[in-house]
Amino acid sequence: MKRAYKEAIVYQIYPRSFKDSNNDGIGDLRGIIEKLDYLQYLGINTVWLSPVYSSPMDDNGYDISDYCNILPEYGTLEDFKEMIFGMHKRGIKLIMDLVINHSSDEHPWFLAARRDINSPYRDYYFFRKGNKNGPPNNWTSFFGGSAWEYNPDTDDYYLHLFSRKQPDLNWENLRLREEIKKILKFWLDLGVDGFRCDVINIISKNPDLPDGKSKLPILRGKEHYLNGPKIHKYLNELKSDVFSYYDMFTVGETVMITPETALTYIEEGCDELNMVFQFDHMGVDNYYVKWFLRKFKPKRLKKTMRKWQTALDGKGWNSLYFENHDQPRSVNRFGNLCYRIESAKMLATYLYFQQGTPFIYQGQEIAMTNAHFTELSQYRDVETFNIYRLGRKLGFSDKRMMKKIKYMSRDNARTPMQWNADEHAGFTKGIPWIEVNQNYKLINVEKDRDNPDSILNHYRKIITLRKEYPVAIYGNYYEYYLKSNKVAVYERNFKNDRLLVVVNFTSKKVKFKPPYDLSTYQLILNNYDEEYEEQLLPYQAKVYYGKVFHDSGKG
Ligand code: TEU
Ligand code: CA
């Protein structure tokens, strides 16, 4: 599937919040089946489905207790087969979320391992004796606190880099790796077209599990598992033993990675993975970790996007995302709620004409906003609760922690999809598992569908243009006005085709002089009805198309 991943336009579904078909307040597979025509209307050609496997739902499915079965609340394997058939019938591929750095602590492997040191599954996990009445080392969890949980039955500790209900799997164990390969084949044989590989670059740990150097209780020990010693061995094993036998593609979620390291996974010809989700641009409004907020500056975002566009150009392939189920809504972070429509269209234009595969998260196409929550009890996310507790223990006030949570909680992305102005936004006729955003009467799919100038229809125009103009996919990348904190201007060149993308990241009119004469170019996209010679309107975003017959671009 050499080009499929380059021509994919991916829509991420967070199943718990997408559509509830049986009114238990929880999204489900039959709800997705109800919305397949909507996905086709949107114009996407691939769905990334967040986990739907059996799970105690400690981390909303990223804690799997049976890798080859569907969570009953979400439906059955028969529903799954009907859903994937319906997707394929509409020309939509399906990539599944593969969570293989850890399982649930309710997985049968772990239940056996934690009870009996002689269990054959004992070595599927990291069980270690503590030292001096404490955990085996000083590593901390992504969710705050120690990365070790005491296990009374065998008087030792087990490693969990996420919640204590997500014990890390020991990839050193060949039998475990063979189990994982069987799981991959099970889903690929059901017709799945690929995988999004959850935190894939931390599956190989330094086998000695030494203490981390950091004095901060944040991600301490990361140097001993980030892009670990055998990561490429393991990925090449999955590729040679499984992936290479199927027409599929992969996107790896790789935390704290640089373009240079990413290329060791995705360089064309190496292709352990086809592309990665990196996090640099998710750090432009915070310091080091997302809970230390920082004012957003467009030039910082431009710098991170440019870094990846130029580093991968001609060598590897970018993923293009601003949102997913872990991130707050982009219109709150990088746009402006007073110009919600213009700025949401601007962000989509700026992002999706860059080089790489577009990933659109459910609700982003109508610029859903962060949740309205004010009480901790309105939240549902294990990370949010853990971070609140850790912050309070470290002396931060309730008010300070609630401010951080309001801006950065993952639940900002997990309020139910807003379909229409009916009760609960048409997501359910029951009581939703998490409150629907109170602005759903203003922001919903039905309202946008009927409005040709809506955000939804702007997304559909972008998707159509990406299909019509190969330069939008295969063009190189060259940027102008790099230092500007107001405008972003970049060019894509492919054969004799050129696109010039011009966006205003501010709420002010700005003076703007194009980098060259555009009189022979066609304005193919504009988020306003008008345009002015040497001026951009607030959050104005324009795309020009032209033919060039001399040296193409500067890139
Ligand atoms: O996320 C990995 C990860 O690093 C997250 O902790 C993310 O960086 C953080 O939440 C952003 O603040 C993946 C999944 O996307 C996430 O939903 C899971 O909770 C996590 O792995 C464990 O499976
Ligand atoms: Ca349901």
**With contact defined as beta carbons under 8 Å apart, do 280 and 306 qualify?**
no
pLDDT score for 542:
98
Do residues 434 and 531 share a domain? no
Q: What is the CATH number of the domain that holds 126?
A: 3.90.400.10
Do residues 301 and 417 share a domain? yes
Do residues 272 and 420 share a domain? yes
Q: Phi, psi (5° rounding) for residue 167?
A: -65, 135
Q: What is the CATH number of the domain that holds 63?
A: 3.20.20.80
Q: Which amino acid, one-letter code, is at 18?
A: F
Residue 177 has pLDDT above 60, yes or no: yes
In a domain, 380, yes or no: no
Query: Which ligand is nearest the CA of 55, by number?
Result: 1
Query: Which ligand is nearest the CA of 19, by number?
Result: 2
More confident residue, 368 or 131: 368
Ligand 1 atom at minimal distance to the Cα of residue 290: 12
In a domain, 395, yes or no: no
Q: Phi, psi (5° rounding) for residue 383?
A: -65, -40
Do residues 96 and 121 share a domain? no
In the chain, the number of structural domains is 3
In a domain, 552, yes or no: no
Query: Which ligand is nearest the CA of 427, by number?
Result: 2
CA of 412 to the centre of ligand 1 (A): 14
Q: In Å, what is the CA distance from 144 to each residue of 125, 220, 443?
A: 20, 10, 34
In a domain, 127, yes or no: yes
In a domain, 243, yes or no: no
Residue 1 has pLDDT above 70, yes or no: no
- At 13-43, the pLDDT tens digits run 999 999 999 999 999 999 999 999 999 999 9
* Alpha helices (H) along 353-425: 382-393, 398-408
Check the CA dihedral 290-294-298-301 and report its sign.
Answer: negative
Give ∠ CA 150-151-155 in degrees, rounded to 5: 95
Do residues 78 and 196 share a domain? yes
Task: Look up residue 482 and give its two tokens.
Answer: 């790099």
Do residues 13 and 78 share a domain? yes
Query: What one-character-per-residue DSSP string does 2-67 give?
Result: TTHHHH--EEEE-GGGT--SSSSSS--HHHHHHTHHHHHHHT--EEEEPP-EE---TTTTSS-SEE
Ligand 1 atom at minimal distance to the Cα of residue 255: 4
**With contact defined as beta carbons under 8 Å apart, do 381 and 410 qualify?**
yes
Which of 162, 284, 386 gets mutated to test ligand 1 (max ligand atoms within 8 A of its CB)? 162
Closest residue CA from atom 6 of ligand 1: 142
CA of 543 to the centre of ligand 1 (A): 34
Residue 554 has pLDDT above 80, yes or no: no
Q: How far apart are CA 73 and CA 75, in angstroms?
A: 6
Query: Which ligand is nearest the CA of 21, by number?
Result: 2
Binned at pLDDT 50, 70 and 90, residue 245 comes out as very high
Q: What is the CATH number of the domain that holds 529?
A: 2.60.40.1180
- Which of 440, 463, 486 lies at the terminal end of a domain, its last residue? 463
Task: Look up residue 223 and give its two tokens.
Answer: 């140097």
Q: Which amino acid, one-letter code, is at 77?
A: L
In a domain, 384, yes or no: no
Domain with 318, as residue range(s), is 8-100+174-200+249-368+411-463
Do residues 493 and 459 share a domain? no
Binned at pLDDT 50, 70 and 90, residue 386 comes out as very high
Whole-structure pTM value: 0.97
pLDDT score for 551:
59
Residue 552 has pLDDT above 60, yes or no: no
Do residues 428 and 533 share a domain? no
Do residues 351 and 310 share a domain? yes
CA of 444 to the centre of ligand 2 (A): 20
Q: How far apart are CA 97 and CA 531, in angstroms?
A: 42
CA of 432 to the centre of ligand 2 (A): 9
Q: Which amino acid, one-letter code, is at 435?
A: E
More confident residue, 268 or 485: 485
pLDDT score for 361:
99
320: enclosing H helix or E strand: strand 319-320
Neighbours of ion ligand 2 (CB under 5 A): 20, 22, 24, 26, 28
Closest CA to 12 of 413, 316, 280, 285: 413
Arithmetic mean of pLDDT, 273-293? 95
**Is ligand 1 within 6 A of the CB of residue 168?**
no
- At 109-119, the pLDDT tens digits run 999 999 999 99
Q: Which amino acid, one-letter code, is at 116?
A: D
Ligand 1 atom at minimal distance to the Cα of residue 163: 22
In a domain, 527, yes or no: yes
Closest residue CA from atom 10 of ligand 1: 326
Do residues 262 and 282 share a domain? yes
Q: In Å, what is the CA distance from 101 to each residue of 104, 198, 290, 547?
A: 10, 7, 22, 48
**C-beta neighbour count of 76 within 10 angstroms:** 14
pLDDT score for 300:
98
**Is ligand 1 within 6 A of the CB of residue 219?**
no
- Which residues, listed in sequence order, are joined to residue 237 by a DSSP beta bridge? none
In a domain, 29, yes or no: yes
Do residues 141 and 94 share a domain? no
258 Cβ contact list (under 8 Å, min separation 6): none
On average, the pLDDT of the chain sits at 96
**Is ligand 1 within 6 A of the CB of residue 142?**
yes
Binned at pLDDT 50, 70 and 90, residue 555 comes out as very low
The 10 Å CB-count burial string (b at 16+, else e) for 34-61 is bbbebbbebbbbbbbbbbbbbbebbbbb
Give ∠ CA 84-87-93 in degrees, rounded to 5: 90
541 Cβ contact list (under 8 Å, min separation 6): 345, 346, 349, 350, 501, 502, 503, 504, 525, 526, 527
Return the percentage of the chain with pLDDT > 70, whole number. 99
Do residues 314 and 362 share a domain? yes
**Is ligand 1 within 6 A of the CB of residue 383?**
yes
CA of 392 to the centre of ligand 2 (A): 35
Query: What one-character-per-residue DSSP string does 485-533 give?
Result: SSEEEEEEEETTEEEEEEEE-SSS-EE---SS--TTSEEEEESSS--BT
Return the percentage of the chain with pLDDT > 90, whole number. 95
Arithmetic mean of pLDDT, 397-408? 97
Q: How far apart are CA 43 and CA 41, in angstroms?
A: 5
Residue 553 has pLDDT above 60, yes or no: no
Residue 362 has pLDDT above 60, yes or no: yes
- At 285-322, the pLDDT tens digits run 999 889 999 999 999 999 999 999 999 999 999 999 99
- Which of 421, 437, 463 lies at the terminal end of a domain, its last residue? 463
Active-site residue set: 198, 253
